[in-house]
A = this chain, B = another copy of it.
Amino acid sequence: MSKAEQLLQALGYDNGQKLLMIHADDAGLSHSENQATIDALKRGLVNSYSIMVPCPWFYEIAEFALKYPNFDCGVHLTLTCEWNSYKFGPVLGQKEVPSLVDAQGYFFKSRNEVLNKAKPDELKKELCAQIDRAISFGLKPSHLDSHMYTLGASHEFLALYREVGKLYQLPVMLNSKLITEVSGNKTAETALENEVMIDHLYLGNFKDFENGRLSDYYANSLKKLQPGLNMILIHTAYDNHEMRAITKNHPNFGAAWRQIDFDFFTSDQCENLIKEQKIQMVSWTAIKNLIYP
- The chain A residues found within 8 Å of chain B, CB to CB, are 30-32, 35, 55-60, 63, 85-88, 90-96, 103-106, 133, 136-137, 238, 240-242, 245-246
Are B245 and A31 in contact (CB-based, < 8 A)? Answer: yes
List B contacts of A95 (CB < 8 A): 92-93, 95-96
Q: How far is the CA of A35 from the CA of B115 in the complex (A)?
A: 35
Q: Is the interface of A mostly helix, strand, loop or mixed?
A: loop
Give the contacting residue for A59; candidates B60, B86, B90, B240; CB below 8 A. B86
Q: A93-B94, A94-B93 are in contact. Are A85 and B60 (CB under 8 A)?
A: yes
Q: How far is the CA of A94 from the CA of B93 in the complex (A)?
A: 7
Q: List 5 A-B contacts (CB under 8 A).
A: A31-B242, A57-B85, A59-B104, A93-B94, A105-B133
Q: How far is the CB of A128 from chain B (nearest CB, A)?
A: 13
Give the contacting residue for A93; candidates B35, B93, B103, B242; CB below 8 A. B93
List B contacts of A240 (CB < 8 A): 241-242
Q: A31-B245, A57-B85 are in contact. Are A91 and B63 (CB under 8 A)?
A: no
Q: How far is the CA of A57 from the CA of B60 in the complex (A)?
A: 17
Are A103 and B136 in contact (CB-based, < 8 A)? Answer: yes
Q: A31-B241, A93-B95, A95-B92 are in contact. Are A87 and B105 (CB under 8 A)?
A: no
Q: How far is the CA of A91 from the CA of B35 in the complex (A)?
A: 27
Are B88 and A105 in contact (CB-based, < 8 A)? Answer: no
List B contacts of A103 (CB < 8 A): 136
| Other A-B pairs beyond A31-B241, A96-B96, A238-B241, 5, CB < 8 Å | A31-B246, A59-B87, A59-B104, A92-B95, A93-B95
Measured CB to CB, the nearest residue on chain B to A96 is B95
Q: How far is the CB of A84 from chain B (nearest CB, A)?
A: 8
Are B86 and A57 in contact (CB-based, < 8 A)? Answer: yes
Measured CB to CB, the nearest residue on chain B to A246 is B31
Are B104 and A85 in contact (CB-based, < 8 A)? Answer: no
Are B136 and A32 in contact (CB-based, < 8 A)? Answer: no
Q: Which of A35, A55, A56, A92 has the most CB of B within 10 A?
A: A56
Q: How far is the CB of A46 from chain B (nearest CB, A)?
A: 21
Q: How far is the CB of A277 from chain B (nearest CB, A)?
A: 36
Q: How far is the CA of A88 from the CA of B85 in the complex (A)?
A: 16
Q: How far is the CA of A58 from the CA of B56 in the complex (A)?
A: 12
Measured CB to CB, the nearest residue on chain B to A91 is B105
